Amino acid sequence: AFVVVTLLMVLLLGSLKLGLIAMVPNLMPVAMIMGIMHFCSIPIDMNNILIASISMGLAVDDTIHLLHQFRLNHQRTQNVEESIRIAMSHSGRAMVSTTMILVLGFFVYMGAEMQNIQRFGLLIGLTALLALLIDLFFAPALLRTFYARQSTRTTEMINEAHT
């Protein structure tokens, strides 16, 4: 699934660099929830085995909207900070509202009588919440890190051209 999703992200975002950057926030929630499961001694059963694939799908949805907006604005402005700000203002509210609906929807499973269904709802809800937080805070940091030098070089070239 990781390879297929990576290829799709590269194709959909139109950039190898941005597609690879996109995979970091998509894998982090899955890795974190698996760590939480290990720490809390939650076994991997038939319901919990689905968490990774469902979580990847939820994380990809928000990430692709955010990074697509970033790419469009970065091509237009060549300014990383401005592109992140516009992408967040364009996609951020929708990301928060859809994720909160998903989280609440999955948390409803915590009212089930079967313990494995309760855990499934809790873990998927927490994973969706983690994915949102990672997209809102960590993804912009990644963009700043991997696009800052390019933006600085572009600015330097423009300044040199004007002198």
Q: What is the per-residue pLDDT across 3-15, written as a single tens digit (0 to 9) for each?
A: 888 999 999 999 9
Sign of the CA dihedral running 11, 12, 15, 19: negative
Asked if residues 40 and 123 have their Cβ atoms less than 8 Å apart, the reply is no
Model confidence pLDDT, tens digit, residues 32-52: 999 999 999 988 877 778 888
Model confidence pLDDT, tens digit, residues 122-157: 999 999 999 999 999 999 999 999 998 654 455 554
Q: How confident is the model at residue 48, as a pLDDT? A: 79
Model confidence pLDDT, tens digit, residues 89-119: 999 999 999 999 999 999 999 999 999 899 9
Q: How confident is the model at residue 78, as a pLDDT? A: 92
Q: How confident is the model at residue 58, as a pLDDT? A: 84
pTM (2 d.p.): 0.84
Q: How confident is the model at residue 104, as a pLDDT? A: 96
Question: Rounded distance, CA 160 to CA 163, Å?
Answer: 5
Q: How confident is the model at residue 163 (pLDDT cuts 50, 70, 90)?
A: low
92: its two tokens: 């951020």
Q: How confident is the model at residue 56, as a pLDDT? A: 84
> Within 13 Å and on the Cβ side, how many CA atoms surround 62?
34
Q: Mapping DSSP to helix (H, G, I), strand (E, B) and coil, where does residue 45 land?
A: coil
